[in-house]
Amino acid sequence: MLYDLVVVIPVYNEEACINTVIKSWYDMLFDLKIHFLIIVLNDGSQDGTADVLARFADNERISIINKKNSGHGSTILMGYHKAVKIAEWVFQCDSDDEMKADYFPKLWTERQKYVALFGVRENRTQNFARKLISAVSRLIVKLLFGQGVIDVNTPYRLMRSDVLKPIITQIPANTFAPNLIISGTLAQSELLLYNVPIPYQSRKTGKVSIVKWQLWRIAILSFWQTLRCRPKINNAR
């Protein structure tokens, strides 16, 4: 493998904070002396995100991909497919700075004991609709797959490439919430998983791109896709 770790960061309209987010992850990983690459996928942002990302164009540890908008899920999958080819470990985080880079060592130092490690969002604040949908998502994954992952859609996850690769090859590119399916597949396996609380803070910049009326349509779509897509993996390592 070319890298010990590839960090996948999907971005959409995060002009105000993306510079800080990338620098914080770069500095933290550099201090840990990890051989890493950060892949930032700009999913057709309509603000000045692309201009901010251009500042990192000459950094060999940061790969910037500007692409047409295809949605959060397909953008994550694109990053995963690139990452599993070149790194032993893949980490995915969001670009909204709600879960800080400072807590990544909690996962990294424990990685040799597990195949996947999940940051459980601690003290997360949500409106009623989002709380209900999150609860339903957890229930769906628990009923379909098992309960090995506490925060099934957490955007703070570290996974072995050799375990992640066969899962994502079975997930359609247009899947809205691939992390639900990945969490479920891992929960159903007999592989060792790790859940650790990670402080969560509400975004201070930008705004949530999914409005309230869309939540239920998306929840139904995610449920249907999760129900239909049941990846198989070899539990032997």
Rounded CA-CA distance 87/221 in Å is: 31
Q: Which of 10, 18, 176 lies closest to 82, judged by CA?
A: 10
Q: What is the pLDDT of residue 115?
A: 97
| Residues near 3 by beta carbon (within 8 Å), at least 6 away in sequence | 35, 36, 37, 86, 87, 88
pLDDT at 129 over 60: no
104: CATH: 3.90.550.10
Rounded CA-CA distance 80/237 in Å is: 20
**Does 234 map to a domain?**
no
**Does 154 map to a domain?**
yes
Spatial strand order in the sheet of 62-67: 62-67, 36-43, 3-11, 87-93, 156-160, 116-122, 193-199
Q: Which of 77, 103, 100 lies closest to 90, judged by CA?
A: 77
191-208: pLDDT as tens digits: 999 999 999 988 667 555
**Does 191 map to a domain?**
yes
**Does 91 map to a domain?**
yes
pLDDT at 159 over 50: yes
4-49: pLDDT as tens digits: 999 999 999 999 999 999 999 999 999 999 999 999 999 999 999 9
**Does 220 map to a domain?**
yes
| Residues near 16 by beta carbon (within 8 Å), at least 6 away in sequence | 205, 206
Rounded CA-CA distance 217/24 in Å is: 35
43-97: pLDDT as tens digits: 999 999 999 999 999 999 999 999 999 999 999 999 999 999 999 999 999 999 9
If one counts the domains in the chain, the total is 1
Q: What is the pLDDT of residue 219?
A: 67
130-154: pLDDT as tens digits: 566 666 666 766 666 667 899 988 9
- Using CA atoms, how far residue 129 sits from 133, 143, 151, 193, 204, in Å, is 6, 21, 17, 29, 21
Q: What is this structure's pTM?
A: 0.88
**Does 235 map to a domain?**
no
**Does 146 map to a domain?**
yes
Domain range for 205: 3-228
The H or E element that residue 175 is part of is none
